Amino acid sequence: MGGSIYIFLAVAFGIATAVIGRTKGSSVTLWFMIGAIVPGIGLLVAMAYRNDGEEPRRPCPRCGRECMLHDALCVGCGNELDYTTEVSAATR
């Protein structure tokens, strides 16, 4: 009986991990396997995993270079960037 509970948890965590992995633009199958094999840990890894391609960006107001949303300084010209919560809210 304990085995079936483990399988249920593995599938539930696998699906949850796959859903998170999908929002990051990664393979659903891969994340499902990770979530099912290491339930809990796989889910945490999926949440911590960052895909640079999916990272919200904004142009620098001074030089126009694309910077990461969370960057405090522009990598192109060193201009100080304001942290705008509006942008992150709009991308949701």
Please give the residues from 16 up to 75 whose contact with Zn ion meets the rule CB under 5 A.
Answer: 60, 62-63, 65, 74
CA distance 48 to 46: 5
Q: Which residues pair with 80 in a beta bridge?
A: 73
The answer to whether 36 and 14 have CB atoms below 8 angstroms apart is: yes
Complex with Zn ion: residue 40 or 76, whichever CB lies closer: 76
Q: Which of 41, 77, 84, 87 binds Zn ion (CB under 5 A)?
A: 77
Complex with Zn ion: residue 6 or 55, whichever CB lies closer: 55
Element (H, E) at 58: strand 57-59
Complex with Zn ion: residue 65 or 70, whichever CB lies closer: 65
The answer to whether 54 and 25 have CB atoms below 8 angstroms apart is: yes
Query: By the criterion CB under 5 A, which residues form the site for Zn ion?
Result: 60, 62-63, 65, 74, 76-77, 79
